Chain A
Amino acid sequence: MSDVLSLEVVDADGAIREALDEAAADSRASFLKKAVLGGGAFLAGGVMFGGFPKLALGAPSPAQDVQILNFALLLEFLEEEFYGRAVRSGSLSGETLAFARVVARNEAAHARFLQRTLGSAARRKPRFDFGEATENQAMFQAVAMTLEDTGVAAYNGQGPNLTRGALAAAGQIVSVEARQAAWIRNILRRQPAPSPFDKPLTKAQVEARVRRTGFIQS
């Protein structure tokens, strides 16, 4: 699958587009292009074209676990920081605020767990710039949906590359990401479970999407 899928191709149920339209009144086109159109291209609403991407790296090994868990740690750092800043910004209200508080706590726990597991091999936390995404509820919601769905697809894609022990740990995290994805989707009145199978993404696909958000500064 191409890393340069258009929004029309991946946004099969229109969820991203509609979320963006709602956010558009007080948002900048450049931000949306950067943060959501680029970064949010992750999940076809129903039909999977051409089956699964090639997922396999080498055979599972402890060394490969370290690489993969560090990759997961980057995503968890990003989520932790995104939700933490959004909660502190004071711009959220209602169920969206309740969502952000719970998810901020969960993502922080995931990041601490991965740091502890990796020990001295753990990557450092980068600096982040979320632009307006943490300052505006509609934009926060749209970005949160893309982050959660991407997190699910990232863990699902790496699961088969992990040793059994690491997979057991990752399994305890991915289903929480999936609950969070369903929750924010329900808040947005989007289908919380848009397909009977959550399509995985490769590491390269996830990295390309994260890179294009421009959220990571260093």
Chain B
Amino acid sequence: MSDQITIEAVDTDGAVQEAAEKVAGDSRAAFLAKGALFGGALAGLGSLMVPEEARAQTATDVAILQFAQTLEFLEAEFYAEALRMGALRGDVLRFARVVGEHERIHAQFIGRALGRAAVRKPRFNFRGTTENQSSFVATAIVLEETGVAAYKGQAPRIDTRSILAAALAVHSVEARHAGWIRDLAGRNPAPNAFDQPLTLQQVLAAVAQTRFIAGPVTTVAGGRPLFTG
């Protein structure tokens, strides 16, 4: 997807512009500029999500979005670093480019929904896993599987319908990523008829075990994200 897509090109019924005008504390021009950066997919979701969430999030929803944004930052940075390392090739390189872009867009999208409660991108240390293709593939499988299970665990807890709709739209994309990288690794992409969820605590424990997050997780406003208790 091109970063050059303009809002005018995708916003054929004016929904995004209308949404933009309702966003409190953000100029319409700034919203449009960001929307244009993210491309049409985000613009479409923006029309769904931005007006309502800007005012009507529950504490549970904020905690879940902060948790999700932290995971998206982790994934996005993992792919970005792997691409900078230059050790990937072929289909795996193609996977990393596409998926890295998706995760970056997810993180930015959630950040917009959270406003000042958004998470600041933490410092990461991927401990060598981005430096060669085989460790990259093994780690990507773990990260994508964790993402699928994390969204699945949180979706039924979301209070706001528009946020739930957006979370589901991300959840299945994470599952596509998981299926894709498993196929590239020569593993069954859909090994079970039912995918199991993980709780927030289970995901946090799994992430902590990787020691990939090397700095404190704080909000843009300098506070502690709600999911950290």
Contact = CB atoms under 8 A, between A and B. Distances in A.
A9 to B, nearest CB: 11
A182 to B, nearest CB: 4
B164 A47 contact: no
Per DSSP, chain A at the interface is helix
Contacts of A178: 172-173, 175-176, 179
Interface residues of B, number: 61
Interface stretch (B61-69, B82-90, B131-139, B148-156): B148-156
B98 interface: yes
Interface string A135-174: 0000000000000000010011001100011011001111
Contacts of B209: none
A102 interface: yes
A167 B189 CA distance: 23
A99 to B, nearest CB: 8
Given A50-B15, A51-B47, A160-B161, A196 B102 contact: yes
A51 B109 CA distance: 15
Given A48-B44, A176-B195, A178-B175, A199 B5 contact: no
A191 interface: yes
Interface in B164-178: 164-166, 168-178
Contacts, number: 194
B44 A50 contact: yes
B192 interface: yes
B173 to A, nearest CB: 5
Interface stretch (A65-73, A106-114, A120-128): A106-114
A66 B27 CA distance: 44
B202 interface: no
B191 to A, nearest CB: 8
Contacts of B39: 46-47
A46 to B, nearest CB: 5
A200 B172 CA distance: 10
A186 interface: yes
Majority SS at the chain B contact face? helix
A92 B167 CA distance: 36
A204 interface: no
Contact of A200 (B10, B101, B165): B165
A113 B175 CA distance: 21
A186 B95 CA distance: 11
Contacts of B106: 196
Given A50-B15, A175-B175, A178-B173, A192 B180 contact: yes
A160 to B, nearest CB: 5
Contacts of A46: 1, 39-41
Contacts of B177: 182, 192-193
B172 A167 contact: no
* Most chain B beta carbons < 10 A, residue from A48, A110, A155: A48
B42 A174 contact: no
Interface string A178-218: 11111100100001110111111000000000000000000
Contacts of B156: 164-165, 167-168, 171
Given A50-B11, A182-B177, 19 more contacts: A47-B9, A48-B41, A51-B48, A102-B188, A106-B192, A156-B169, A156-B172, A159-B155, A171-B171, A175-B172, A177-B172, A180-B190, A183-B183, A186-B179, A186-B180, A193-B102, A195-B173, A198-B168, A198-B176
Interface of A: 46-52, 55-56, 102-103, 105-106, 109-110, 113, 152, 155-156, 159-160, 164-165, 167-168, 171-183, 186, 191-193, 195-200
21 contacts: A47-B5, A47-B10, A51-B16, A51-B44, A52-B48, A155-B168, A155-B172, A156-B169, A159-B168, A172-B152, A172-B194, A174-B171, A176-B190, A178-B176, A179-B179, A192-B177, A193-B99, A195-B1, A197-B169, A198-B173, A200-B169
Can you list the 5 inter-chain pairs with the closest CB atoms, starting with the nearest? A48-B44, A179-B179, A47-B40, A109-B193, A51-B47
